[in-house]
């Protein structure tokens, strides 16, 4: 019996297939990522994602028995309870300081070790705390997330906003223990206290002047160096500090915000008002030890005393000539620079100082007197 084997056509799969190459052992598997649909944060496990989702809802089943605060996880409740009990179980072995959290102890330890693991990506600054780095980064980014709701001013730090808010209120929590003065800022109180103690630790390297704070010394040094970084946009006059420029601008605008309560005279600066008030009281409390001269203010006394001492602390950087007064140096320097800031409103003639302008104005007065 002969068997005949029928020829069959190979069966083909009608479903298209894609050949997936085997993953080599050297390749690293990409971990699964679980993304929060509400804030786009990603997590490596579904457990962590579920725990995070509780922060978006009102599901906080764990209640604090003291203040009724709610928490989504037990560890957060336990950590919160330490604020009520005052318990600080984490102890620094170097200085003995106690902390309620292990993370706070870890940050504190870096004070002793000098460790600064957080580095700025823009500059070489390093920090011991991540919070300090975040605050520093705002210096580079210009980010000012803390906004004043009253005036719209913005600040890079919450503490700066808190200090600023005192300018809108009468809150002056820093009190002088010697007098009744109050201050909005601790730094202002520290500066004020030096008036009572007489402490002036910052000394000028050019003359015998000394100052209670570094900023005043910095401004004073510009008198010797001739630096005038603050310039008037109306006449170009330069000044060593912004406050002097502010007073100068009032000469152009005519603004005189400081008014005398006795005679209603007005002045462009508080110091001018104080000097004027002594005319009413005839008070000259500053006396020269070398002669019988008395003065309304200490600055005039100091200038006067240079007559006796021969001190001339102000040097011209062009010719080396010395002067007892800074105002005389300023006028003298204009001979070198050619600056003539005092102009006649009648004919336009310009002069280096106000006394020359006054003498010039007499010629116009004489002409007006001769006119028919």
102-153 pLDDT tens trace: 888 888 888 888 888 888 888 888 888 888 888 888 888 888 888 888 888 8
> What's the gap between Cα 67 and its chain centre?
38
State how far the Cα of 147 lies from the Cα of 135, in Å rounded to an integer: 15
- Between 2 and 247, the higher pLDDT residue: 247
Q: What angle do CA 265, 331, 252 make, to 5 degrees?
A: 40
Among the ranges given (28-32, 50-54, 119-123, 366-370), the one the predictor scored with the smallest mean pLDDT: 28-32
- Burial classification of residue 113, based on how many CB atoms lie within 10 Å of its CB (0-12 exposed, 13-18 middle, 19 or more buried): exposed
CB of 64 closer than 8 Å to CB of 80: yes
Among the ranges given (15-19, 159-163, 238-242, 294-298), the one the predictor scored with the smallest mean pLDDT: 15-19
The total of other beta-carbon atoms located within 10 Å of residue 267's CB is 19
Share of the chain above pLDDT 70, in %: 83
Q: What does the pLDDT read at residue 234?
A: 85
Q: What is the CATH number of domain 227-370?
A: 3.30.160.60
Give 217-255 pLDDT, tens digit per residue. 888 888 888 888 888 888 888 888 888 888 999 888 889
Q: What does the pLDDT read at residue 143?
A: 85
Q: Distance between the two ends of the chain, CA-based, in angstroms?
A: 159
Q: Does residue 197 register a pLDDT over 80?
A: yes
In the chain, which ranges are continuous DSSP H helix? 46-53, 74-85, 102-113, 130-141, 158-165, 186-197, 214-225, 242-253, 270-281, 298-309, 326-337, 354-370
Share of the chain above pLDDT 90, in %: 2
Q: Does residue 1 register a pLDDT over 70?
A: no
- Strands 62-63 and 42-43, sheet pairing: unpaired
Task: Give the chain's largest Cα–Cα span.
Answer: 159
For domain 57-137, the question of CATH label 3.30.160.60 is answered with yes
State how far the Cα of 323 lies from the Cα of 313, in Å rounded to an integer: 6
- Between 280 and 204, the higher pLDDT residue: 204
Q: What does the pLDDT read at residue 17?
A: 44
Give the residue range(s) of CATH 3.30.160.60 domains in the chain: 57-137, 227-370
Q: What does the pLDDT read at residue 22?
A: 41
For residue 61 the two structure tokens come to 């089943």
At 217, give phi and psi (nearest 5°).
-65, -40
Q: What does the pLDDT read at residue 321?
A: 92
């Amino acid at each position: 019996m002969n068997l005949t084997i029928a020829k069959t056509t190979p069966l083909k799969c009608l479903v298209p297939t894609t050949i997936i190459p085997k993953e080599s052992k050297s390749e690293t598997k990409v971990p699964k990522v679980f993304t929060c649909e509400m804030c786009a944060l990603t997590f490596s496990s579904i457990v962590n994602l579920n725990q995070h989702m509780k922060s978006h809802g009102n599901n906080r089943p764990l209640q604090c028995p003291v203040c009724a605060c709610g928490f989504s996880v037990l560890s957060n409740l336990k950590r919160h309870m330490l604020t009520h009990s005052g318990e600080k179980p984490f102890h620094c072995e170097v200085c003995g300081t106690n902390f309620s959290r292990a993370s706070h102890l870890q940050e504190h330890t870096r004070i002793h070790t000098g460790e600064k693991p957080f580095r700025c990506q823009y500059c070489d600054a390093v920090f011991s705390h991540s919070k300090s780095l975040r605050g520093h980064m705002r210096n580079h980014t210009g980010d000012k997330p803390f906004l004043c709701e009253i005036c719209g001013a913005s600040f890079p730090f919450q503490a700066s906003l808190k200090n600023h808010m005192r300018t809108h209120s009468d809150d002056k929590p820093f009190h002088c223990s010697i007098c009744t003065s109050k201050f909005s800022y601790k730094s202002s109180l520290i500066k004020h206290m030096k008036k009572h103690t007489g402490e002036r630790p910052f000394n000028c390297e050019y003359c015998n002047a000394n100052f209670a704070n570094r900023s005043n010394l910095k401004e004073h040094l510009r008198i010797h160096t001739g630096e005038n970084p603050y310039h008037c946009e109306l006449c170009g006059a330069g000044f060593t500090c912004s406050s002097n420029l502010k007073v100068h601008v009032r000469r152009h605008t005519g603004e005189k915000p400081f008014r005398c309560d006795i005679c209603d005279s007005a002045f462009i600066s508080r110091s001018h008002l104080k000097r004027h008030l002594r005319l009413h009281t005839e008070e000259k409390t500053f006396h020269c030890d070398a002669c019988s001269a008395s003065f309304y203010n200490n600055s005039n006394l100091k200038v006067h005393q240079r007559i006796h001492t021969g001190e001339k602390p102000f040097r011209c950087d062009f010719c080396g000539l010395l002067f007892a007064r800074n105002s005389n140096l300023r006028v003298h320097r204009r001979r070198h620079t050619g600056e003539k800031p005092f102009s006649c409103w009648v004919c336009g003639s310009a002069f280096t100082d106000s006394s020359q302008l006054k003498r010039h104005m007499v010629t116009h007065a004489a002409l007006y007197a001769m006119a028919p």
